């Protein structure tokens, strides 16, 4: 997508607006697939929580991918998109037994990360295949807010609880067909990831009927020029060799699975917003846009960096701006960032807006959520309409109040 293409999108669909490049998503999918081309049976389950638009799910399905889901609603979105239930894995956290049973009826792969629920589900449904989510207590990422493999994480069953886990499996007679590893996001060190994989291999030896090992994801993508990223090709070479050795010792070939989200869609996305006002104080020049953290929460929530480009004046002189939103809260996208000179009415493009942008958006301050557009085969396709005032009222129920008349005391 060129700047001209992006500007045309804002002219046609307004701003703010999310735009996703289908070609980039396909490139990332095939890059991961090619990195593990020595594996006989590779499954790529896209993490729906990153970007759940049904057109994106259809695109992933057309590429041959499955889905990683965390709620019954995401499962139903996947089924609505035409994804085979056998290509969907359901990996919830902290949900009720009733929801897990509801999903199991839909024919998708269940992945459980809680000993209590594992025991209950195994006792009631011993014949239903279940994957077990293990926390190896190895942090493969750099950002403490998104590296959730630590010992006090709410995700996964501690590897140190393996004896109890095995007792539950034996007592219930349940069918364990997969093991899943959870390490968190933004993998920086492949050797650390490989050490965590060794823990998964050791855990897998306890189960004789495994169909797959799921190594999670958390692959880091670059957020600025020269930014560090996960070397997928190196990981593919090293992990493939170790996985093939495991299968040989295990006695048969099994499936290797990943569940990338950000890796597939983050770089495909641009978030486009119009500059409402340039405001200069004694020390700062603010560029205030027609959006806020209600549409792109990651900078405020995670402290994440998104490159910002003035696509209306890309060759303008570089100046320092603090880019802020219109939300009535501290609402900052960038502090003292070098950007081509900005004027009111210019369009700013935020990079890496494909993952956890719309999916974490809200109606805070009663603002509408933006439209979503898919750039596919050289054309812009609307895949979600911009919200309207009627959408804000849609599920509200008005009630009538009688105005109480004040009592008048007798004199």
214 lies in the same domain as 333: no
Tokens of 97: 């037994």
Q: What is the pLDDT of residues 43-55, one digit of tens each?
A: 999 999 999 999 9
Specify if 408 maps to a domain: no
- What's the confidence (pLDDT) of residue 411? 59
DSSP H helical ranges for 105-230: 115-124, 162-172, 190-204
CA–CA dist 48, 30 (Å, integer): 18
CA–CA dist 384, 174 (Å, integer): 42
56 lies in the same domain as 33: yes
51 lies in the same domain as 173: yes
Specify if 310 maps to a domain: yes
Task: Give yes or no for a cis peptide into 3 (omega within 30° of 0).
Answer: no
Specify if 260 maps to a domain: yes
User: Of the residues 234, 265, 296, which one is the last residue of a structural domain?
Assistant: 265
| Rounded mean pLDDT, 109-119 | 96
CA–CA dist 18, 371 (Å, integer): 6
CA–CA dist 385, 55 (Å, integer): 13
The rounded percent of the chain whose pLDDT value lies above 70 is 94
219 lies in the same domain as 366: no
- What's the confidence (pLDDT) of residue 140? 55
| Whether the Cβ atoms of residue 355 and residue 50 lie closer than 8 Å to each other | yes
- What's the confidence (pLDDT) of residue 146? 40
Long-range contact pairs involving 391-400 (C-beta distance under 8 Å, separation at least 24)? 392/363, 392/366, 392/368
| Rounded mean pLDDT, 3-19 | 98
Specify if 45 maps to a domain: yes
Q: Give bridge partners of residue 372 from the DSSP assignment.
A: 18, 384
- Among all chains, which residue has been given the structure tokens 């109040």? 401
CA–CA dist 394, 71 (Å, integer): 23
283 lies in the same domain as 225: no
- What's the confidence (pLDDT) of residue 152? 64
Q: Which helix (H) or strand (E) holds 391?
A: helix 389-393
Q: What is the pLDDT of residues 312-365, one digit of tens each?
A: 999 999 999 999 999 999 999 999 999 999 999 999 999 999 999 999 999 999
The CATH number linked to 75 is 3.20.20.10
Instruction: Please give the tally of structural domains in the chain.
Output: 2
Quick check: 255 pLDDT over 90? yes
Specify if 7 maps to a domain: no
More confident residue, 347 or 407: 347
User: Of the residues 265, 300, 318, which one is the last residue of a structural domain?
Assistant: 265
Q: What is the pLDDT of residues 214-252, one digit of tens each?
A: 999 888 898 888 888 889 999 999 999 999 999 999 999
- What's the confidence (pLDDT) of residue 145? 44
289 lies in the same domain as 255: no
pTM exceeds 0.85: yes
The CATH number linked to 328 is 2.40.37.10
225 lies in the same domain as 316: no
Specify if 390 maps to a domain: no
Specify if 36 maps to a domain: yes
User: Of the residues 211, 243, 265, which one is the last residue of a structural domain?
Assistant: 265
Cα–Cα distances in Å, from 411 out to 74, 167, 202, 407, 408? Answer: 67, 82, 89, 12, 9
Q: Which domain holds residue 181?
A: 22-265
SS3 56: helix
Tokens of 244: 């093939």
157 lies in the same domain as 75: yes
Terminal CA-CA length for the chain? 79
Active site residues: 328
Torsion, CA 75, CA 352, CA 387, CA 303, rounded to 10:
90
Specify if 126 maps to a domain: yes
244 lies in the same domain as 286: no
152 lies in the same domain as 234: yes
327 lies in the same domain as 240: no
334 lies in the same domain as 232: no
CA–CA dist 248, 242 (Å, integer): 10
Q: What is the pLDDT of residues 16-45, one digit of tens each?
A: 999 999 999 999 999 999 999 999 999 999
- The 3 state secondary structure assigned to 278-317 is EEECCCCEEEEECCCCCCCCHHHHHCCCCCEEECCCCCCC
Q: What is the pLDDT of residues 59-113, one digit of tens each?
A: 999 999 999 999 999 999 999 999 999 999 999 999 999 999 999 999 999 999 9
Q: What is the pLDDT of residues 134-192, one digit of tens each?
A: 998 876 555 444 444 445 678 889 999 999 999 999 999 999 999 999 766 567 678 88
CA–CA dist 116, 232 (Å, integer): 36
Quick check: 386 pLDDT over 50? yes
């Amino acid at each position: 997508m060129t700047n001209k293409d992006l500007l045309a999108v804002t002219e046609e669909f307004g701003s703010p607006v999310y735009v996703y490049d289908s070609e980039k998503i396909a490139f990332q999918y095939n890059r991961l697939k090619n990195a593990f081309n020595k594996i006989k049976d590779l499954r790529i389950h896209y993490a729906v929580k990153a970007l759940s638009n049904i057109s994106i799910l259809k695109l992933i399905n057309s590429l041959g991918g499955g889905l990683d889901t965390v709620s019954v609603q995401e499962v139903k979105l996947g089924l609505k998109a035409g994804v085979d239930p056998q290509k969907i894995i359901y990996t919830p956290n902290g949900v009720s037994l009733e929801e897990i049973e509801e999903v199991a009826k839909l024919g998708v792969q269940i992945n459980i990360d809680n000993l209590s629920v594992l025991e209950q589900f195994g006792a009631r449904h011993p014949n239903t295949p279940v994957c077990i989510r293990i926390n190896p207590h190895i942090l493969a990422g750099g950002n403490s807010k998104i590296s959730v493999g630590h010992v006090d994480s709410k995700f996964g069953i501690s590897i140190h609880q393996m004896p109890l886990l095995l007792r539950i499996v034996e007592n219930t007679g349940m069918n364990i067909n997969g093991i899943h590893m959870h390490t968190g996001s933004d993998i920086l060190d492949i050797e650390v990831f490989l050490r965590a994989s060794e823990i998964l291999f050791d855990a897998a030896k306890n189960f004789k009927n495994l169909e797959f090992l799921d190594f999670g994801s958390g692959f880091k993508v670059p957020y600025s020029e020269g930014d560090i990223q996960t070397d997928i090709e190196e990981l593919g070479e090293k992990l493939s060799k170790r996985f093939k050795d495991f299968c040989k010792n295990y006695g048969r070939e099994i499936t290797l699975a990943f569940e990338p989200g950000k890796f597939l869609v983050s770089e495909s996305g641009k978030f486009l917003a119009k500059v409402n006002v340039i405001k200069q104080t004694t020390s700062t020049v603010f560029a205030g846009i027609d959006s806020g953290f209600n549409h792109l929460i990651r900078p405020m929530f995670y402290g994440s960096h998104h490159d910002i480009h003035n696509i209306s004046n890309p060759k303008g002189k570089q100046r320092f701006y603090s880019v802020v939103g219109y939300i009535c809260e501290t609402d900052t996208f960038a502090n003292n960032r070098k950007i081509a000179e900005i004027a009111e009415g210019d369009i700013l493009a935020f990079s890496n807006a494909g993952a956890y942008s719309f999916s974490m958006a809200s109606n805070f301050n009663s603002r509408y959520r933006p439209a979503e557009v898919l750039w596919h085969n050289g054309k812009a396709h609307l895949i979600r309409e911009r919200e309207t005032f009627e959408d804000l009222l849609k599920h509200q129920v008005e009630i009538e109040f009688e105005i109480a008349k004040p009592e008048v005391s007798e004199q």
